[in-house]
Homo-oligomer: A and B are copies of this chain.
């Protein structure tokens, strides 16, 4: 459950008052807030506390994360000259705090740690739009007006994600999750021709260097992209709450596991409604070839932690699907 910790009082206490990028640069903070939801809920895996802009910020592109807004880029990516602002990532030198936090977590955790990176389209959208976007007009215009530049940008971002994920795996993560959260804004055709190729390379290279590590790919509103995503080389596809998991299985095919997909907003409903929805998710997911129970998107800040604890407990009692089990 991405952001599972962010609704917890102990999260706010550990985070302090700095920005999220400042917190991410402090391994003891990252370790603590990554552990908190595991400790409180007893999930079967932990997701590394990070942000999708960490690699681009670390190579000096010029990006910050504004509280309540998200990533903001004062000088957006607009031409080939901006590619120079995306030099290769040297994880030991550029993000030593990430590696230190992963190593600390490896010692503390009794469940697998899932490494974290943003997907190329979603990271690119922030760089090109200059911040969160409603209609993604600039990034779409770039993709169609200058497909060569788009290709170069996507490849650079793929290299950054690859270097970061490999370093997390080398430091002790057991799996990876790529958050291409906003890919669902694209037509299936644009996703297949303009985003899938770099995603496919990312997973192929990870499969070569770390063949045993499960590879999860997640996005919101991706109902029509699931077949493409299943062809990316990911071994698990995360699905939001819009697509029932039996239908998602149908689209991703028999070789791919699914992750999801309780509507986070449903967690604000009375318990009997939540329990009924959890049962529905587990039932539709079925048994094979693997299901990671999860919310369909991040935990909403208003969520009562007690309800999440009950959800995890209920899923464990069904005995049919792990909570974050890989």
Contact = CB atoms under 8 A, between A and B. Distances in A.
A242 interface: yes
Q: What is the total number of copies of this protein in its complex?
A: 2
A170 interface: no
A11 interface: no
B247 A141 contact: no
A266 B140 contact: yes
Given A137-B300, A223-B223, A300-B135, A144 B269 contact: yes
A215 to B, nearest CB: 24
Contacts of A37: none
Interface string A189-227: 110000000000000000000000000000001011000
Given A135-B265, A137-B268, 19 more contacts: A137-B302, A140-B263, A140-B269, A141-B265, A141-B269, A144-B268, A144-B270, A144-B273, A145-B270, A184-B242, A187-B241, A187-B242, A188-B242, A189-B280, A190-B263, A221-B221, A223-B223, A224-B243, A224-B244
26 contacts: A135-B264, A135-B265, A135-B300, A136-B265, A137-B268, A137-B300, A137-B302, A140-B263, A140-B268, A140-B269, A144-B268, A144-B269, A145-B270, A145-B273, A187-B242, A187-B244, A187-B263, A189-B280, A221-B221, A221-B242, A223-B223, A223-B224, A223-B242, A223-B243, A224-B242, A224-B247
